[in-house]
Amino acid sequence: MSKFQKKKKGMPGISTASLPDIVFMLLFFFMVTTVMRETTLKVQFKLPQATEVKKLEKKSLVSYIYVGKAKDLPGDQIQLNDRISSVKDVKTFIFGERATRKEEDIPYLTTSIKADMEANVGTITDIKIELRDINALKINYSTRKGSALDNIKN
Amino acid sequence: MARRDTPEINAGSMADIAFLLLIFFLVTTTMDVDTGISRKLPEKQPEDIVPPVLKEKNVFEVNINRNNEILVEGDQFMKVDQLREAAMKFIDNGGGKDADGNDCTWCKGDKDLTSSDHPKKAIISLQSDRGTSYATYIAVQNELVGAYTVLRNRYANEKFGKDFDRLSNEQQKVIQTDIYPQIISEAEPTK
């Protein structure tokens, strides 16, 4: 019994018993907010800047097309899902994206084009023509927030 | 006796385990919000469609060539930073009447007879080259959209005392369709 009566006098130490609870709370917060990157990027791109930007809402209704430079290939490359593809595959890609969504959501599907600053407008236009052909009309040019004038250094 | 002998599980390392997981998720979390310029593509037109006849003064022509130089209205070279003002001047001109014969009472432009009649009739036509760089293209789009944003904000502040973004959906819709509709047409790029 004397074991329990050995009490120290003076300031008691701060209880760390609730530390795990606090940490767990933070842990759950980050677990819930984490979005793992679904695609590995095969192309490199630096997004242009713009001021008149809108936030893309409802990420589940967005499909991404990446345009940029690839390691060993010349010119602009288009990446759909995990592969480097050609413009002709855009239609198949969008149909595939549509198949995974609910039917009533299809008109709200947005295609976000993440293209490199140095890409050619021709490549982007080719993609846009493909998208128009299959009636995927909502697009979004992905940009960073910043002055558009920084894009062009005269 | 056996019950008393069962030792309590030491929970002291629980915090360490949780910290480890916490750090993992902290590192993998990306909190980037996707932002960008939203546009709507035109619907596919049938081959035999007759394009509507437009008066040349109602069209604000912007051409970008493959050296990323900007030509406005066929005769003026411009830098990107001048474009917004030129576009605003064109949209806000209000030199005539709209399709229903109404004047543009909210326009503050020069009422120049050789420029656009009415914001509802004013069309911005953008043509680029296939070799134009995407950065320039975005910058030009940004300035053109920006011109509309400035005008809409000006109108919203005068009428409602608030910025356009803070108006209700109905008020925004009125401005978008009847006051300053955003008409930017993109021609197919030159090869």
Tens-place pLDDT, residues A7-50: 656 787 787 778 778 888 888 888 887 776 667 778 888 888 88
Lowest-confidence range among A18-22, B11-15, B174-178?
A: B11-15
pLDDT, position A6: 61
CA nearest to B144 within chain A = A52
Q: Is A131 helix (H, G, I), strand (E, B) or coil?
A: helix
SS (H, E, C) chain B: CHHHHCCCCCCCCHHHHHHHHHHHHHHHCCCCCCEEEEEECCCCCCCCCCCCCCCHHHEEEEEECCCCCEEECCCEEECHHHHHHHHHHHHCCCCCECCCCCECCCCCCCCCCCCCCCCCCCEEEEECECCCEHHHHHHHHHHHHHHHHHHHHHHHHHHHCCCHHHCCHHHHHHHHHHHCCCCEEECCCEC
Q: Is A125 helix (H, G, I), strand (E, B) or coil?
A: helix
- Give the pLDDT mean for B4-17: 76
- Give the pLDDT mean for B102-129: 81
* Whole-number Å distance between alpha carbons of B54 and A59: 39
Lowest-confidence range among A59-63, B25-29, B116-120, B187-191?
A: B187-191
Q: How many residues does chain A have?
A: 154
| Least Cα separation, residue B41 to chain A (angstroms) | 5
Comparing CA positions, the residue from B59, B151, B36 lying closest to residue A111 is B36
pLDDT tens digits, residue range A67-106?
888 887 777 888 888 888 888 888 888 888 888 888 888 8
pLDDT, position A154: 45
Residue B95 or residue B137, greater confidence:
B137
Q: Please, are residues A81 and A39 in contact by the beta-carbon 8 Å criterion? A: yes
- Give the pLDDT mean for B121-132: 86
**A-proximal residues of B, 84-123, CB under 8 Å:** none
Res A1 pLDDT > 70: no
- Give the pLDDT mean for B60-71: 86
CB of B19 within 8 Å of a chain A CB? The answer is yes
Do the Cβ atoms of A119 and B141 come within 8 Å?
no
pTM, full prediction? 0.76
Do the Cβ atoms of A50 and B136 come within 8 Å?
no
Q: Residue B99: is it exposed, middle or buried by C-beta count within 10 angstroms (0-12/13-18/19+)? A: exposed
pLDDT tens digits, residue range A122-143?
888 888 888 888 888 888 888 8
Do the Cβ atoms of B134 and A30 come within 8 Å?
no
> Which of A19, A21, A28, A52 is the best residue to mutate to test the B interface, defined by the most B CB atoms within 10 Å of its own CB?
A52
Res A151 pLDDT > 80: no
Chain B contact set for A140 (CB, 8 A):
34, 36-39
pLDDT, position A37: 66
pLDDT, position B31: 67
